[in-house]
Amino acid sequence: MDQTKTYRYKLKPTIAQEQTLGQWLGACRYIYNLTLSYKNTLWEHNRVSIGKNEIQKELAVIAKEYPWLEAVYSQTRQDAVERVFTAYEGFFKQGNGFPKFARKGQYRSFTFNQGVKITPTHVQLPKFGKVRYFNSMDFVGRIKQAIVRECADGWYLSLVVETNIEPLPVTTNHIGIDVGIKSLLVTSAGEVIENPKHLYKAERKLKRLQRSVSRKKKGSNNRKKAIKRLALAHLKVANTRKDFQQKVTTKLIRENQSISVEQLQIKNMLANHHFAKSISDAGWYGLTQLLEYKAKWYDRAFEKVSARHTSQDCSGCGYRKTDLTLSVREWVCPSCGSAHNRDVNAAINIKKRAVGHTVSQLAELDSSSTLKQESSFS
């Protein structure tokens, strides 16, 4: 089964190459802002909505007059224009914020859609040349896209590769997952994975580094060094969280044939300033995204279900305890007498709500029949 998979490598550019990478990044940011300004101006003054292809044609003419723009690979320039239209699409169709101009430090990557070649020691980027890299892993497949990104600790290359991924062996395990803050997640089987609280543990150090930045004179070299130390500390938190999520989701996908989770409105939940930091630290969105695309890789079933009343409904008889408060972690159903752990009960209800994955259906699955299992998830 052909799927796309991303491999990430750290580049080892020379000092001259690092300067050129920075120049390319600056040129792409300039194109992005120019396109956004041009598109906004045409609409505000003339009510004209210019198309992507028209802008790219005009950009090709402009680039010939400016060597620092002409130096950038044509398709990389076109991708900067593409990002503006993607931002508009997100605003009109998905309710994202209106596109904003990218300040220095916000626009951190540029893209090659074809022409990238790689050897065990070097990567060949169109119009840029060969760059050494750390060959941390091998890949098999066809390169569809390459993204060069600037991070606090250097430059990275992400290769989007089309490859054949073999499905995992079929299992008879099917779980629902309830995410939380105290415990990162609880499964319907009763497994609890504690929240490592990566940001909370690093918060004291981050505050100290932030104070160090604020005390330095703006524009000074000492301030730039302090900003870099702060950025590296934030990067370490993000990488540690991402590594933890990768390991947890891989384990869940390997062990279970189907996984169901709550469909949470995380953006709305972040509006509550009492829980916003804890929710961001838990990384619920990233966790569910990883589960979803790994399920596609390995031919597992993944389902998002409504989160309404999953904690209040008795997983045994369906009785709804409407007076259940957030502080109550254990409760007994007044109707059937079942004793419930709040999180495990919610996870069981999530599992039962998944389309085509009711408890009765799961009980009838024959572990020796692959055909029956496949038909249950169609």
Asked if 178 is an active-site residue, the reply is: yes
Among residues 281, 303, 313, 343, the one annotated as catalytic is 343
Contacts of 277-280 spanning 24+ positions with Cβ under 8 A: 277/199, 278/181, 278/200, 279/181, 280/199
Asked if 58 is an active-site residue, the reply is: no
Per-residue three-class SS string for 114-175: CCCEECCCEEEECCCEEEEECCCCCCCCEEEEEEEEEECCEEEEEEEEEEECCCCCCCCCEE
Among residues 150, 262, 303, 313, the one annotated as catalytic is 262
Residue 19, C-beta contacts closer than 8 angstroms, at least 6 positions apart: none
Among residues 79, 82, 150, 178, the one annotated as catalytic is 178
Asked if 313 is an active-site residue, the reply is: no
- The secondary element (H helix, E strand) that includes residue 258 is strand 258-262
From 241, 240, 290, select the one nearest 261 (Cα to Cα): 290
Q: What is the rounded distance in angstroms from the CA atom of residue 15 to the CA atom of residue 101? A: 29
Q: What is the rounded distance in angstroms from the CA atom of residue 199 to the CA atom of residue 112? A: 33
Q: Which amino acid is at 326?
A: L
Q: What is the rounded distance in angstroms from the CA atom of residue 333 to the CA atom of residue 320? A: 9
| Tokens representing residue 288 in the block | 């569910």
Catalytic residues: 178, 262, 343
